[in-house]
Amino acid sequence: MSIQLRDYQLQLIEETFTAWRSPAFLPPESAGGSGKKREKVLLQLATGGDKTVIFASFAKEFTDSGKPIIAIAHREELITQAANKIREATQLPVEIIKAGYKADADCPI
């Protein structure tokens, strides 16, 4: 990856992968949890924390394992920013699926 990650970003990435590897999160019943397994992980980071760089790191990990990636955003600026940052970080082709763009369906990202 050509982007240098900060310590807090590396820690967040490691914690996220650890959570994904251990999907059996059972919230304590005393805290109002349902006791059902939770297989989703939410990553939260303040403005300026470079969430796109962290996503690019995930994209690299998954595409290296042969898994495709999709990023969804509601604004043109966020879509192009994410595509550019992921291209830079992974050195992989990134396609945009949106009106006015022609995307290659075989593209991994």
**pLDDT tens string for the chain (109 positions)?**
467 889 999 999 998 888 877 755 555 555 455 555 556 777 888 998 888 888 888 888 888 888 888 888 888 898 898 899 888 888 888 888 888 888 888 888 8
Residue 101 counted as domain residue: no
Residue 67 counted as domain residue: yes
Residue 66 counted as domain residue: yes
Residue 49 counted as domain residue: yes
Residue 22 counted as domain residue: yes
Q: List, in sequence order, every beta strand (DSSP E) within 2-99.
A: none
Residue 95 counted as domain residue: no
Residue 84 counted as domain residue: yes
Number of domains in the chain: 1
Sign of the alpha-carbon torsion through 25, 19, 92, 51: positive
The boundaries of the domain holding residue 43 are 7-90
